[in-house]
A = this chain, B = another copy of it.
Amino acid sequence: MPKVNRNKLQQGLIQVYTGNGKGKTTAALGLALRAIGWNYKVCMIQFIKGNKEIGEIKISKKLIPKLSIHQFCQNKKYSIGKPDQKYQESVGAAWKFFLKTLAEKKYDIIILDEINNAIKYKLLNVDEVIEVLKNKPKNIELILTGRGAPKKIIKIADLVTEMKLIKHPFYKGIKARRGIEY
Protein backbone atom coordinates (compact mmCIF):
# COMPACT_ATOMS: atom_id res chain seq x y z
CA MET A 1 0.00 0.00 0.00
CA PRO A 2 1.36 3.42 -0.85
CA LYS A 3 2.33 5.62 2.08
CA VAL A 4 -0.47 8.00 2.93
CA ASN A 5 0.46 11.60 2.34
CA ARG A 6 -1.49 13.07 5.22
CA ASN A 7 -1.36 16.74 4.69
CA LYS A 8 -0.93 17.70 1.10
CA LEU A 9 -2.95 17.15 -2.00
CA GLN A 10 -0.54 16.62 -4.85
CA GLN A 11 -2.72 18.57 -7.17
CA GLY A 12 -5.46 20.85 -5.98
CA LEU A 13 -8.04 21.78 -8.57
CA ILE A 14 -10.96 24.17 -8.84
CA GLN A 15 -14.39 22.58 -8.76
CA VAL A 16 -17.74 24.25 -9.42
CA TYR A 17 -21.18 22.90 -8.50
CA THR A 18 -23.93 25.03 -9.98
CA GLY A 19 -27.46 24.71 -11.36
CA ASN A 20 -30.97 24.81 -9.94
CA GLY A 21 -31.14 21.26 -8.54
CA LYS A 22 -30.51 19.93 -5.05
CA GLY A 23 -27.03 18.63 -4.37
CA LYS A 24 -24.54 21.48 -4.69
CA THR A 25 -23.67 22.21 -1.06
CA THR A 26 -24.53 18.59 -0.31
CA ALA A 27 -21.93 17.33 -2.80
CA ALA A 28 -19.35 19.69 -1.28
CA LEU A 29 -20.13 18.23 2.14
CA GLY A 30 -19.79 14.70 0.77
CA LEU A 31 -16.43 15.63 -0.63
CA ALA A 32 -15.50 16.95 2.82
CA LEU A 33 -16.53 13.66 4.43
CA ARG A 34 -14.49 11.65 1.98
CA ALA A 35 -11.47 13.94 2.34
CA ILE A 36 -11.41 13.80 6.13
CA GLY A 37 -11.47 10.01 5.78
CA TRP A 38 -8.01 10.48 4.25
CA ASN A 39 -6.98 12.94 6.97
CA TYR A 40 -7.20 16.04 4.86
CA LYS A 41 -8.41 19.22 6.49
CA VAL A 42 -11.47 20.96 5.14
CA CYS A 43 -12.79 24.47 5.68
CA MET A 44 -16.25 25.53 4.52
CA ILE A 45 -16.96 29.25 4.23
CA GLN A 46 -20.63 30.03 3.85
CA PHE A 47 -21.00 33.28 1.92
CA ILE A 48 -24.75 33.73 2.12
CA LYS A 49 -26.28 31.20 4.49
CA GLY A 50 -26.52 32.14 8.13
CA ASN A 51 -28.54 29.43 9.85
CA LYS A 52 -26.55 27.76 12.61
CA GLU A 53 -29.12 25.06 13.26
CA ILE A 54 -27.95 22.85 10.43
CA GLY A 55 -26.66 19.30 10.44
CA GLU A 56 -23.30 20.15 8.91
CA ILE A 57 -22.46 22.61 11.69
CA LYS A 58 -23.55 20.16 14.37
CA ILE A 59 -21.34 17.40 13.02
CA SER A 60 -18.42 19.73 12.26
CA LYS A 61 -18.12 20.50 15.99
CA LYS A 62 -17.31 16.84 16.54
CA LEU A 63 -14.92 16.69 13.62
CA ILE A 64 -12.90 19.86 14.33
CA PRO A 65 -10.09 20.49 13.40
CA LYS A 66 -10.67 18.28 10.37
CA LEU A 67 -13.80 20.09 9.31
CA SER A 68 -14.61 23.65 10.23
CA ILE A 69 -17.52 25.71 8.97
CA HIS A 70 -17.64 29.49 9.09
CA GLN A 71 -20.67 31.69 8.58
CA PHE A 72 -20.64 35.45 8.23
CA CYS A 73 -24.26 36.24 7.73
CA GLN A 74 -26.85 36.70 10.45
CA ASN A 75 -29.78 35.89 8.20
CA LYS A 76 -31.28 32.54 9.02
CA LYS A 77 -33.22 32.36 5.83
CA TYR A 78 -31.90 32.96 2.39
CA SER A 79 -34.12 32.12 -0.51
CA ILE A 80 -32.70 31.42 -3.91
CA GLY A 81 -33.21 34.87 -5.42
CA LYS A 82 -31.12 38.01 -5.30
CA PRO A 83 -29.56 38.54 -1.87
CA ASP A 84 -30.51 41.73 -0.11
CA GLN A 85 -27.96 44.58 -0.06
CA LYS A 86 -27.40 43.84 3.62
CA TYR A 87 -25.49 40.76 2.49
CA GLN A 88 -22.79 43.02 1.05
CA GLU A 89 -21.01 43.36 4.36
CA SER A 90 -21.14 39.71 5.33
CA VAL A 91 -20.05 38.55 1.87
CA GLY A 92 -17.13 40.98 2.12
CA ALA A 93 -16.19 39.55 5.52
CA ALA A 94 -16.42 35.99 4.15
CA TRP A 95 -14.18 36.91 1.23
CA LYS A 96 -11.60 38.50 3.55
CA PHE A 97 -11.66 35.40 5.73
CA PHE A 98 -11.12 33.25 2.64
CA LEU A 99 -8.08 35.27 1.57
CA LYS A 100 -6.58 34.87 5.03
CA THR A 101 -7.37 31.14 5.13
CA LEU A 102 -5.90 30.59 1.68
CA ALA A 103 -2.70 32.42 2.64
CA GLU A 104 -2.30 30.44 5.87
CA LYS A 105 -2.46 27.12 4.00
CA LYS A 106 -3.94 25.35 7.01
CA TYR A 107 -6.54 23.53 4.95
CA ASP A 108 -6.27 21.18 1.99
CA ILE A 109 -9.77 21.85 0.74
CA ILE A 110 -11.70 25.10 0.99
CA ILE A 111 -15.40 25.15 0.13
CA LEU A 112 -16.77 28.53 -0.92
CA ASP A 113 -20.44 27.86 -0.34
CA GLU A 114 -22.88 29.96 -2.41
CA ILE A 115 -20.06 32.12 -3.71
CA ASN A 116 -21.49 31.75 -7.22
CA ASN A 117 -24.65 33.58 -6.13
CA ALA A 118 -22.55 36.28 -4.45
CA ILE A 119 -20.62 36.84 -7.67
CA LYS A 120 -23.69 36.64 -9.86
CA TYR A 121 -25.39 39.39 -7.86
CA LYS A 122 -22.21 41.49 -7.86
CA LEU A 123 -21.60 41.26 -4.13
CA LEU A 124 -18.11 40.19 -5.21
CA ASN A 125 -16.11 41.32 -8.20
CA VAL A 126 -15.71 38.41 -10.60
CA ASP A 127 -12.31 39.53 -11.88
CA GLU A 128 -10.93 39.85 -8.38
CA VAL A 129 -12.20 36.35 -7.57
CA ILE A 130 -10.61 34.92 -10.72
CA GLU A 131 -7.29 36.58 -9.97
CA VAL A 132 -7.22 34.89 -6.56
CA LEU A 133 -8.33 31.49 -7.93
CA LYS A 134 -5.67 31.58 -10.63
CA ASN A 135 -2.96 32.22 -8.07
CA LYS A 136 -4.11 29.75 -5.42
CA PRO A 137 -1.50 27.46 -3.85
CA LYS A 138 -1.04 24.33 -5.96
CA ASN A 139 -1.88 21.92 -3.13
CA ILE A 140 -5.21 23.44 -2.20
CA GLU A 141 -8.52 22.31 -3.73
CA LEU A 142 -11.24 24.93 -4.05
CA ILE A 143 -14.93 24.05 -4.31
CA LEU A 144 -17.32 26.78 -5.44
CA THR A 145 -21.05 26.20 -5.03
CA GLY A 146 -24.20 28.12 -5.84
CA ARG A 147 -26.61 28.80 -8.67
CA GLY A 148 -25.72 30.79 -11.71
CA ALA A 149 -21.94 30.36 -11.77
CA PRO A 150 -20.66 33.11 -14.13
CA LYS A 151 -19.10 32.01 -17.42
CA LYS A 152 -15.72 33.42 -16.41
CA ILE A 153 -15.69 31.15 -13.36
CA ILE A 154 -16.66 28.09 -15.40
CA LYS A 155 -13.90 28.90 -17.84
CA ILE A 156 -11.10 28.74 -15.29
CA ALA A 157 -12.52 25.78 -13.32
CA ASP A 158 -11.15 22.25 -13.81
CA LEU A 159 -14.35 20.40 -12.92
CA VAL A 160 -17.87 21.73 -13.37
CA THR A 161 -21.13 19.92 -12.65
CA GLU A 162 -24.54 21.41 -13.24
CA MET A 163 -27.13 20.09 -10.82
CA LYS A 164 -30.28 20.10 -12.86
CA LEU A 165 -33.63 20.04 -11.15
CA ILE A 166 -35.81 17.29 -12.56
CA LYS A 167 -38.19 17.03 -9.60
CA HIS A 168 -38.26 18.70 -6.20
CA PRO A 169 -40.63 17.96 -3.32
CA PHE A 170 -40.93 21.67 -2.45
CA TYR A 171 -43.18 21.91 -5.48
CA LYS A 172 -45.42 19.32 -3.89
CA GLY A 173 -45.67 21.60 -0.85
CA ILE A 174 -43.20 19.68 1.30
CA LYS A 175 -41.07 21.99 3.42
CA ALA A 176 -37.31 21.71 4.03
CA ARG A 177 -36.68 18.83 6.43
CA ARG A 178 -34.12 18.72 9.22
CA GLY A 179 -31.37 16.21 8.53
CA ILE A 180 -32.14 16.16 4.84
CA GLU A 181 -32.30 19.67 3.43
CA TYR A 182 -30.37 21.33 6.30
Which residues on A are within 8 Å of B, measured CB to CB?
1, 9-11, 13, 15-17, 19, 21-23, 25-38, 40, 53-60, 108-109, 141, 154, 157-169, 172, 174, 177-180, 182
Distance in Å: Cβ of A32 to nearest Cβ of chain B? 7
- Complex contact B174–A9 (CB within 8 A): no
- Complex contact B32–A58 (CB within 8 A): no
A33 touching B33 in the complex, CB below 8 Å, given contacts A9-B179, A166-B154: yes
- Complex contact B34–A182 (CB within 8 A): yes
What separation, in Å, do the CA atoms of A18 and B126 have in the docked complex? Answer: 31
- Complex contact A37–B19 (CB within 8 A): no
Residues of chain B contacted by A17 (CB below 8 angstroms): 23
Residues of chain B contacted by A59 (CB below 8 angstroms): 33-34, 36-37
What separation, in Å, do the CA atoms of A179 and B2 have in the docked complex? Answer: 14
What separation, in Å, do the CA atoms of A69 and B151 have in the docked complex? Answer: 38
